[in-house]
Every structure is written in structure tokens, then in C-alpha cells.
Amino acid sequence: MKIVTKEVATKINEGDFAEKYLQGMDLSKRNFKGKNFFDCIVKECNMQETILDNANMRNGDFTDIDFKKASMKDVKAENAIFHSANLVFSDMSNGNFSGVDFSFANMFYMEAYKGRFVNANFHEAELHRVNFTGANLRNANFLQANLSGANFTDADLRGVDLSEANICAANFSYAQMSEEILQFGPIGGQYLVFFPKRKIVQFEYTQVPGDNLTIEEFEKVIKEESFDKKEKERFYKVISFMKSF
């Protein structure tokens, strides 16, 4: 594997970094549109606000790299590694990130409109308010991810793993799913019910913790808690609706 050293840093704008090693460089605010980062290893580099539209980032290793506000539209990055990367406010619209490792990445407010994330790994990633409208997320892993306020309108979520994920206030309108998701709230404190195969995976409420409850167990919790009459009536409407499936 070739090494990029400080001596050749003046040639950085040539933009062919395929199979190279980049370390300790300030690449922020540079324009690398359409450049080649195939199988490139990037370490300790600053890529804030960098333009990477249409770049080839396939198989690249970008672990821990700061991509804050980077533009990554139409990027081809299949099987790349973005483990623990900072992608806050970045734009991945229409890009192909299938098979990518985003585990533990910070992706708050990221734009991912119509992106392709098939088989992507978002384990424990921070995805608050990410826009996945129209995205293909088939078989993606969201285990323990923070998806609060994320927008999945028209997204393909078939086969995704949402185990222990925070999906409070997420928008699943018109999404394609293998399971049914029902959302309700707020009632007093905000709460949300995720309902796959007649089980409540997540139930958030200021007074009631609940995880992986059956409908019957959920109903028992409501009976035992000290909700006022109006709140209980609304909960029972939710329970009645769930039982109709």
C-alpha cells in the first residue's frame, strides 16, 4: 500500500488517493468532487465541510474522521468504514452506502434523502433528526441506535433490526416495513409504541418504563399505574387498536 507523506501533500489536489494512506492532513473545505478514494485509509485528518460529491469511497477506511457539514451527494461508498466518524449536518443524498459500517458514528441532522444503505450497520449510532426520506435501508442494523426524530417517510425498511433502538418521535409515514409500527403521543410525557408481531418493543413514558411487553402485559401496566381517567381512556383506545391486528 502506497504512503502519502507530507512531502507530496502539495499534490493533494490531484485527487487520486486509491489504495493510499492519508494521515494528519487538514482536508477541510477542499473540493474533491468526483475524486478517487477507493480502498484508501484516512487517519487523523480533518474533512469538515469538504466537498466529496460523486467521489469513489468504496472500501475506504474513514474511522474517527470528522466530516461535519461535508457534502457527500451521489458518493459511491459501498463497504466503506465510517466507524465513530463525525457526520453531523453532512449530506449523503442519493449516495450508495450499502454495506457500510456506521457503528458508533455521530450523524445528527444528517441528510440522506434517497440514499442507499442496504445492509448498513448503524449499531449505537447517533441518528437524531436524520432525514432518510425515500432511502433504501433494507436489512440495515439499527441495534441500540438513537433514531429519535428521524424521518423515514417513503423509506424501504424491510428486514431492518430496530432492537433496543430509540425511535421516539420518528416518522415512518408510508415506509415499507416487515413489521407494523404504531405511533401515539404525546399523552402527558411523550411515548411511542413499536409493535412487531403483537409485542411492544419500546414504550416511553415519564411514569411507565416498558420493554418487549405483550399487549396483555402492557394493559396490566396501565391498570396498575396511577393515570387519571382521561389518560387511561386514551391508553385503552391504543390497546383496543392494537388488539384489532
Spatial neighbors of 52 by CB under 8 A, at least 6 apart, are 32, 33, 35, 37, 70, 71, 72, 75
pLDDT of residue 188: 38
Instruction: Pick the most confident of 147-151, 225-229, 234-238.
Output: 147-151
pLDDT of residue 119: 98
Q: Judge contact between 94 and 75, C-beta under 8 A.
A: no
Decide the pairing of beta strands 20-23 and 41-43. Answer: parallel
Q: What SS3 state is found at 154?
A: coil
Q: Judge contact between 87 and 69, C-beta under 8 A.
A: no
What is d(CA 119, CA 32) in angstroms, rounded to the nearest whole number? Answer: 27
Segment (H or E) for 215: helix 215-224
Give the chain's mean pLDDT: 82
Of the CA atoms within 13 Å of residue 27, those in its CB half-sphere come to 30
Residue 212's pLDDT band (cuts 50, 70, 90): low
- Summarize pLDDT for 111-144 with one digit per residue, the tens: 999 999 999 999 999 999 999 999 999 999 998 8
pLDDT of residue 67: 98
pLDDT of residue 99: 98
Instruction: Pick the most confident of 43-47, 185-189, 223-227.
Output: 43-47
- Summarize pLDDT for 48-102 with one digit per residue, the tens: 999 999 999 999 999 999 999 999 999 999 999 999 999 999 999 999 999 999 9
pLDDT of residue 186: 39
pLDDT > 90: percent of the chain: 55
What is d(CA 1, CA 13) in angstroms, rounded to the nearest whole number? Answer: 20
pLDDT of residue 245: 55
pLDDT of residue 208: 47
9 pLDDT more than 50: no
Q: Report which of residues 201 and 132 the model is more confident about.
A: 132
The full DSSP string for 36-48 is B-TT-EEES-B-T
